[in-house]
Amino acid sequence: MRVLLFLLLLPCFCFGQNLVPNPSFEDTIKCPSSTNQVDSAVAWNRYGGSPDYFNSCTTSPFIGVPNNGGGYQNAATGVAYCGFYSQYVVATVKELIGAQLIAPMIIDNQYYVSLKVSTAFAAGINCATNNLGVLFSTVPYSGGNPAPVNNFAHIYSDSIISDTTNWTTIDGVFTADSSYSYIVIGNFFTDAATDTLILDTGIYCLNPYYFVDDVYVGDTTTGINDLSTSNNIRIYPNPTTGIFTVQGATGEIEVYDMVGGKVLATTKEEIDLSSYAKGIYLIRVGEAVRKIVLH
């Protein structure tokens, strides 16, 4: 009842809508039967190379969940995820996956982007890399016309991700300079510009491979009764790493998570969310509401 009431009080709560279709790859066109079938996940396609779709519905030992050719990993959400090599495997084609966004981005608006990745570790896969991330585009790509690999991505990790047990979140905020309509996931940096880490006692880095799940892209600019222009109230910095200020507020300041749960309430201007999970939160002062990104 608390969540329902909160949503009723905020009819534009949908401004936090995820622009990524089928973000955790649960919706299927058909159960995958072999590798190289990313297009079996609704809305997703290969935008370079031959990435894979993993789902517990399959009988194939190579693309199941949690057991598959990349080792053992439960889905971050549900029973499915995708996977790709983060370095060149065949010729000069990177393995990349992509989808058309539910709606184009708005130029000059700010977007929060996040995805979860996990490092595969199995026979023939013994290496981890950095530079995993997201590129946005105004045009779609296909296997024959792959997305560019030119040492640029809108959001990426410059640290090597090597956790083979847990899911690691890659996230960040950027301002759209075009009406981007497509999202592409992978490593958009050349092998020469990519750092590697061997995970076993081997001499060579062999086929670094990553699982990906829970992809999110949300507009942090659009909102209802924006605090930055409401009753001389200012909120800064936004995004924040934890501590931020709500200046000019009178009375109680409430912080909610994106499912309507109240995180805290205070009358202090300075608020600290350092101990909370990264993501998007709602700051409410009276009837004015604004999103803040914690990263």
pTM of structure:
0.77
Question: Looking at residue 4, what is its pLDDT?
Answer: 33
CATH 1.10.10 fits 223-294, yes or no: no
Question: Looking at residue 249, what is its pLDDT?
Answer: 84
pLDDT (tens digit per residue) in 263-286: 999 999 999 999 998 888 888 888
Question: Looking at residue 227, what is its pLDDT?
Answer: 56
Question: Looking at residue 295, what is its pLDDT?
Answer: 83
pLDDT grade for 12, boundaries at 50, 70 and 90: very low
Find residue 113's DSSP bridge partners.
Answer: 172, 217
Is residue 215 pLDDT above 70, yes or no? yes
pLDDT (tens digit per residue) in 113-144: 999 999 999 999 999 999 999 999 999 998 67
The mean per-residue pLDDT over the stretch 143-170 comes to 93
CA gap 254, 263 in Å, rounded: 8
Domain 16-219 fold: Jelly Rolls (2.60.120)
The mean per-residue pLDDT over the stretch 47-64 comes to 96
Check residues 4 and 212 and name the one with the higher pLDDT: 212
Question: Looking at residue 13, what is its pLDDT?
Answer: 39
Question: Looking at residue 16, what is its pLDDT?
Answer: 56
Question: Looking at residue 34, what is its pLDDT?
Answer: 96
Parallel, antiparallel or unpaired: strands 67-68 and 71-72: antiparallel
Is residue 52 pLDDT above 60, yes or no? yes
The mean per-residue pLDDT over the stretch 101-115 comes to 93
Q: Two tokens at 171?
A: 């996230």
Percent of the chain exceeding pLDDT 70 equals 89
Question: Looking at residue 278, what is its pLDDT?
Answer: 85
Check residues 239 and 225 and name the one with the higher pLDDT: 239
Of 62, 64, 24, the residue nearest 43 (C-alpha): 24
pLDDT (tens digit per residue) in 228-261: 455 577 888 888 889 999 988 888 999 988 767 8
The rounded mean pLDDT for the chain is 88
Number of Cβ atoms within 10 Å of the Cβ of 59: 8
- 262-266 sheet: strands from edge to edge: 262-266, 253-256, 279-285, 288-294
Backbone dihedral region of 139: left (phi > 0), alpha (psi from -120 to 50 degrees) or beta? beta
The mean per-residue pLDDT over the stretch 192-211 comes to 94
Per-domain boundaries in the chain: 16-219, 223-294
Question: Looking at residue 5, what is its pLDDT?
Answer: 36
Question: Looking at residue 121, what is its pLDDT?
Answer: 97
